[in-house]
């Protein structure tokens, strides 16, 4: 670390904090703090989705996995590649709900008790994920700086920075800083590649020293079998629907299409940079062979590559990019965790008559205090990848009732509760029997996950079918809201928002079992025009990205 590195790193921390505080001048109400008054353009939504969904632990984990087992491990991160087109289909759910938190949507669908249970999970989700982000940053910073910078010191500086501007500016500051920081994250993902290729003799040099299967796009040697990939994909499609920050990702744009573009194509950008993380892992694997060194932890690969390849100024820039990857996610999570506590606990159970200014104050304070728990949790994490997959797995257990409740009207609170209890109990039972150990966080394995999801869905369907349905009028209101355009400028003749079927904005996934009725196929291609065109373009993008990765691996 040179003087210029310190200037770049701490200059960035100061600059992004000041920018976040500058943007906070727009905060006038609790809605502007929690949702930005739903006025973000599509490009801000893309930056927010990419920045919030991309954390410092991800390049650490991916480079480490590739370092140890080859490029095919990219599917641990690319598990959501094959379900990214579905983001286009589900994004409008959250805006049409007219809610501030996912917990409120769960309460609308299943009642107050399930809303409370979900909200407790959501707060734990944010704490666990923020902890994993902090630990990921600590691992990289420690080795990249050659232990010249205390990782705890940088983590504290980073935490103070995002807490200051998030406390003041809420989602407005978080979203705009996410957009700026997304460019640094892209730089983080790519800057080691040209330097590393020069050092190891290009792709041909790598292929001379590394096993051939390290350059496969898919193989069993990586530990990613077809069954594993299927379970990771299921984990992704079900889990994403119930992740508690989906309101801010999908419902805060100025139109429904802004939310669709932001969540879907912001995630596509992440799929692109994941290729950079995987290539970095291959480069470091070749580099350690050349230098005849051994890394005691594969997740040190990214930090080792940074230390060996970067010169003065670039090291500081790399560390600033790592910090950016953390701050973008943590700032969004801090706002969301404050919204959850305020809307789903304080407003419902403590002060039902709270003024808007009091809700704004409570959102700021609760977000600040609950975020501090993440720092404590970070100290207990041993493996970043396992911690990351752990939180997504529990989101999938919650996703059974969330996604099931959207596509199946007959779903009820009893089936929803049964799905949670059975899936979580099965997960721990199978893991305990398989490992002989009792733990909170287990290494992600496809078999325990498959049993958990299979039994969870089975009990969800069975119990819902055998118990009384939800109140009819409440369900009609819930689903009628989902069928109406949330961003319509001109209302219908009855003064209500127009039905999406009149403008080509009906949603494919709504009332999925009803597709057997002839009425569902009437005027099909016009009614679902927005869904169908966007879905098709998304699959073209997925194919292009997979082809790009395959083509890169053929070089040399």
Domain that holds residue 140: 3-471+533-553
Token pair listed for 249: 């990702």
Residue 529 CA, chain-centre distance (Å), reads: 27
The residues that bridge with 40 in the sheet, in sequence order, are: 253
Measured distance CA(146)–CA(162) in Å, rounded = 25
Question: Which has the minimum average pLDDT: 52-56, 62-66, 146-150, 256-260?
Answer: 146-150
Position 490 pLDDT exceeds 80: no
297: left (phi over 0), alpha (psi -120 to 50) or beta: beta
Measured distance CA(177)–CA(181) in Å, rounded = 6
Position 503 pLDDT exceeds 70: yes
Are 1 and 147 a contacting pair, CB within 8 Å?
Answer: no
Whether residue 509 is contained in a domain is answered as: no
Task: Select the highest-mean-pLDDT range: 146-155, 170-179, 312-321, 412-421.
Answer: 412-421
* pTM for this prediction: 0.89
Position 496 pLDDT exceeds 90: no
Are 17 and 161 a contacting pair, CB within 8 Å?
Answer: yes
Token pair listed for 131: 């902890």
**CA neighbours within 13 Å on the CB side: how many for 4?**
8
How confident is the model over 317-345, as a mean pLDDT? 85
Whether residue 503 is contained in a domain is answered as: no
Position 388 pLDDT exceeds 80: no
Domain with residue 269: its CATH number is 1.20.1730.10
**Segment 355-382, tens digit of pLDDT:** 999 999 999 999 888 888 776 766 665 5
What end-to-end distance do the CA atoms of the chain give, in Å? 34
pLDDT score for 246: 94
pLDDT band for 104, please (50, 70, 90 cuts).
very high
Are 188 and 322 a contacting pair, CB within 8 Å?
Answer: yes
pLDDT score for 151: 63
Residue 57, phi then psi, degrees to nearest 5: -75, -15
Position 433 pLDDT exceeds 70: yes
Question: Which has the minimum average pLDDT: 326-330, 372-376, 412-416?
Answer: 372-376
Token pair listed for 541: 């993008």
Burial 133-166 (b: 16+ CB within 10 A, else e): bbbbbbbbbbbbbeeebebeebbebbbebbbbbb
pLDDT score for 254: 94
Whether residue 481 is contained in a domain is answered as: no
DSSP 511-535: TGGGGGSGGGGTTHHHHTHHHHHHH
Measured distance CA(131)–CA(154) in Å, rounded = 15
Token pair listed for 170: 């809420």
Torsion sign over Cα 283, 224, 379, 8: positive
Residue 82 CA, chain-centre distance (Å), reads: 15
Are 282 and 66 a contacting pair, CB within 8 Å?
Answer: yes
Measured distance CA(124)–CA(36) in Å, rounded = 24
Question: Which has the minimum average pLDDT: 185-189, 356-360, 526-530?
Answer: 185-189
pLDDT score for 204: 94
Q: What percent of the chain has pLDDT over 70?
A: 94
pLDDT score for 19: 86
Are 360 and 171 a contacting pair, CB within 8 Å?
Answer: no
Measured distance CA(543)–CA(296) in Å, rounded = 37
Whether residue 84 is contained in a domain is answered as: yes
Whether residue 493 is contained in a domain is answered as: no
Angstrom distances, CA of residue 442 to CA of 388, 430, 434, 454: 11, 11, 11, 19
pLDDT score for 512: 79
How confident is the model over 325-344, as a mean pLDDT? 87
Measured distance CA(461)–CA(449) in Å, rounded = 18
pLDDT score for 168: 87
Measured distance CA(229)–CA(498) in Å, rounded = 41
Are 189 and 50 a contacting pair, CB within 8 Å?
Answer: no
Position 67 pLDDT exceeds 70: yes
Whether residue 520 is contained in a domain is answered as: no
Whether residue 504 is contained in a domain is answered as: no
Position 84 pLDDT exceeds 80: yes
Whether residue 178 is contained in a domain is answered as: yes
Q: What is the dihedral of CA 316, 321, 322, 328, to 10 degrees?
A: 140
Close Cβ partners of 85 (under 8 Å, ≥ 6 residues apart): 264, 535, 538, 539, 542
Angstrom distances, CA of residue 543 to CA of 50, 86, 531: 20, 15, 18
**Segment 218-267, tens digit of pLDDT:** 887 777 788 888 888 888 899 999 999 999 999 999 999 999 999 999 99
Q: Which residue has the tokens 């009425």?
A: 519
pLDDT score for 495: 79
Torsion sign over Cα 122, 124, 127, 132: negative
pLDDT band for 86, please (50, 70, 90 cuts).
very high
Are 159 and 13 a contacting pair, CB within 8 Å?
Answer: no
**Segment 279-288, tens digit of pLDDT:** 999 999 999 9
**Segment 450-477, tens digit of pLDDT:** 999 999 999 999 999 999 999 999 999 9
Q: What average pLDDT is seen over the chain? A: 88
The count of structural domains within the chain is 1
Position 147 pLDDT exceeds 90: no
Position 414 pLDDT exceeds 70: yes
Measured distance CA(382)–CA(370) in Å, rounded = 22
């Amino acid at each position: 670390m040179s003087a210029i590195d310190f200037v770049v790193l701490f200059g960035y921390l100061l600059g992004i904090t000041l920018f976040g505080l500058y943007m906070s001048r727009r905060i006038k109400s609790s809605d502007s703090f929690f949702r930005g008054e739903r006025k973000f353009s599509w490009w801000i939504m893309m930056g927010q989705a990419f920045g919030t969904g991309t954390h410092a632990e991800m390049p650490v984990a991916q480079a480490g996995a590739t370092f140890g087992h080859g490029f095919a491990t990219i599917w641990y991160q690319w598990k959501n590649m094959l379900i990214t087109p579905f983001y286009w289909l589900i994004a409008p759910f959250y805006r049409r709900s007219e809610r501030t938190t996912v917990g409120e949507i769960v309460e609308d669908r299943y009642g107050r008790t399930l809303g409370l249970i979900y909200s407790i999970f959501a707060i734990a989700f944010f704490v666990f994920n923020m902890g994993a982000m902090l630990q990921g940053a600590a691992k990289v910073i420690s080795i990249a700086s050659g232990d010249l910078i205390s990782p705890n010191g940088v983590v504290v500086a980073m935490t103070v920075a995002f807490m200051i501007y998030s406390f003041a500016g809420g989602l407005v500051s978080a979203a705009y800083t996410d957009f700026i920081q997304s460019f640094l994250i892209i730089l983080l993902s790519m800057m080691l590649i040209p330097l590393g290729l020069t050092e190891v003799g290009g792709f041909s040099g790598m292929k001379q020293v590394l096993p051939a299967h390290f350059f496969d796009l898919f193989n069993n040697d990586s530990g990613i079998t077809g069954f594993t990939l299927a379970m990771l994909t299921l984990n992704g499609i079900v889990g994403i629907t119930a992740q508690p920050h989906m309101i801010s990702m999908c419902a805060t744009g100025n139109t429904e299409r802004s939310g669709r573009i932001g969540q879907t194509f912001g995630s596509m950008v992440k799929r692109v940079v994941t290729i950079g993380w995987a290539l970095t892992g291959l480069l470091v694997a070749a580099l350690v062979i050349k230098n005849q060194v051994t890394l005691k932890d594969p997740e040190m690969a990214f930090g080792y590559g940074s230390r060996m390849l970067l010169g003065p100024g670039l090291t500081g820039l790399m560390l600033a990019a790592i910090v950016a990857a953390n701050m973008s996610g943590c700032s969004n999570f801090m706002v969301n965790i404050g919204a959850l506590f305020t809307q789903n606990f304080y407003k419902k159970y403590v002060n039902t008559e709270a003024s808007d200014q009091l809700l704004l104050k409570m959102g700021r304070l609760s977000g600040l205090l609950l975020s501090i728990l993440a720092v404590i949790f970070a100290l207990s994490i041993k493996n970043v990848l396992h911690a990351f997959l752990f939180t997504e797995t529990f989101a999938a257990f919650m996703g059974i009732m969330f996604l099931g409740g959207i596509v199946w009207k007959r779903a009820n609170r009893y089936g929803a509760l049964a799905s949670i209890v059975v899936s979580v109990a099965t997960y721990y039972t199978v893991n305990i029997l398989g490992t002989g150990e009792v733990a909170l966080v287990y290494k992600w394995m496809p078999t325990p996950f498959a049993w958990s999801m299979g039994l969870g869905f089975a009990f969800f369907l069975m119990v819902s079918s055998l118990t009384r349905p939800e109140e009819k009028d409440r369900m009609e209101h819930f689903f009628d809201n989902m069928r109406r355009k949330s961003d319509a400028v001109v209302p219908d003749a009855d003064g209500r928002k127009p039905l999406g079927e009149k403008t080509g904005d009906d949603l494919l996934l709504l009332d999925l079992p009803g597709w057997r009725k002839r009425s569902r196929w009437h005027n099909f291609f016009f009614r679902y025009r927005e869904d169908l065109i966007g879905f098709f373009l998304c699959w073209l993008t997925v194919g292009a990205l997979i082809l790009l990765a395959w083509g890169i691996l053929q070089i040399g």
